[in-house]
Amino acid sequence: MISLALDRYDRHLPFFDGTVLLPAALRNLKVYQVGQHGTLRDGGHRHERMLRDGEFDAAETSLASYIVARSRGRPYTAIPVFPRRLFSQGQIFVHARSGIETPADLAGRTVGLQSFQTTLAVLAKGDLATEYGVSLKNIKWRVGSADTIEIDNNPDFDIVPIPPGQKLPDMLCRGEIDALFYSRLPEVPTDRTGEFRRLFDDPKAVETDFVARNGYWPIMHLIAVKGDTMETHPTLATDLMNVFADAERIAGTFLADPNWTRLPWAKYAAEEETAAFGKSLWTSGVSANAANLTRFIGYALDQGLIDAPLLVEDLFHPSVRNT
């Protein structure tokens, strides 16, 4: 049996409902539905269960934590399939009365992160410095959890865990932190949503401009594979890439049925995105994602998560580096 742990996204539904086409080499593939932020059918903490414990043969994992694991010689490789992407701009939330109106206003403030190593946090910090010229070293970083892959002390940054029992969204509402870089909408009661707002009033416009200048939708996750599994299944990397391509093809047909989703205007949103970007931003392969990955590796280096830069191609198994 080969085990694969994935989150519950539309592009993964063909794995869960059995409609994806499996080659003979993957007839014994067992797919687990494992969450990260929350618990799904087969539990949670997917990144830790893969990168710390090696529980699965392959799994969707944090790009940042995978890069840290690779830099420390952990026995993992990966395929260039990227099942989760996010822009940072729409995930920066500020306290409603913080006086923060622009990225520059975050200088010297107290900012919450799920962890210093969370991929969205690494991206948002890196974009803050690169896109908006804000120094990361004079911001007080307050983290909600430990890093997936522990690193040595990072003395260049003010990183302090939040008090036990506290939650970052609640701290944002109370003004105990000025801002929160968060991978989803902060979970607070409806009557408290007025206590925070997005930093950017029109994140779609800012994100569209980001794509126009940089050419990509930032990667959050990739598919990591255990090294010893690759040794015993030498075609696994290419087989998995083909299966993920088939799942993406199937998922691309879902919105042809206007009632596939409970959102009445989803089809219009899809048409709007196609018109805005002029291409699919959901790309696999090394070459199509090299600029994104190169920049992110630089962010990890600048933030003290790795000690030396990594080559993009070294993140992936040799059999799929030319994709």
Q: Is 123 exposed, middle or buried (0-12, 13-18, 19+ CB in 10 A)?
A: buried
- Give tens-digit pLDDT for 279-301: 788 999 999 999 999 999 999 99
Q: Tell whether 186 and 234 lie within a shared domain.
A: no
- Give tens-digit pLDDT for 129-153: 999 999 999 999 999 999 999 987 7
Distance CA 139, CA 236 (A): 43
Q: Tell whether 222 and 206 lie within a shared domain.
A: no
- Give tens-digit pLDDT for 252-273: 999 888 899 999 999 898 888 8
- pTM for the model: 0.96
Which among 154, 189, 214 is the end of a domain? 214
Range of the domain at 202: 89-214
For residue 190, the model assigns a pLDDT of 81
For residue 239, the model assigns a pLDDT of 98
pLDDT along the chain (323 residues), means of 10: 97 97 94 95 98 97 98 97 98 97 98 97 98 97 95 88 96 97 90 91 96 96 97 97 97 90 90 83 95 98 96 98 97
In which region does residue 61 sit, left (phi positive, over 0), alpha (psi from -120 to 50) or beta (all else)?
Answer: beta
Q: What is the dihedral of CA 289, 291, 293, 296, to 10 degrees?
A: -150
For residue 131, the model assigns a pLDDT of 96
Which among 179, 214, 249 is the end of a domain? 214
For residue 277, the model assigns a pLDDT of 84
Number of domains comprising the chain:
2
Q: Read off the CATH number of the domain in which 107 is found.
A: 3.40.190.10
Q: Which of 178, 204, 184 is nearest to 96 (CA)?
A: 178
Q: Tell whether 19 and 57 lie within a shared domain.
A: yes
For residue 222, the model assigns a pLDDT of 98
Q: Is 108 exposed, middle or buried (0-12, 13-18, 19+ CB in 10 A)?
A: exposed
Q: Tell whether 121 and 163 lie within a shared domain.
A: yes
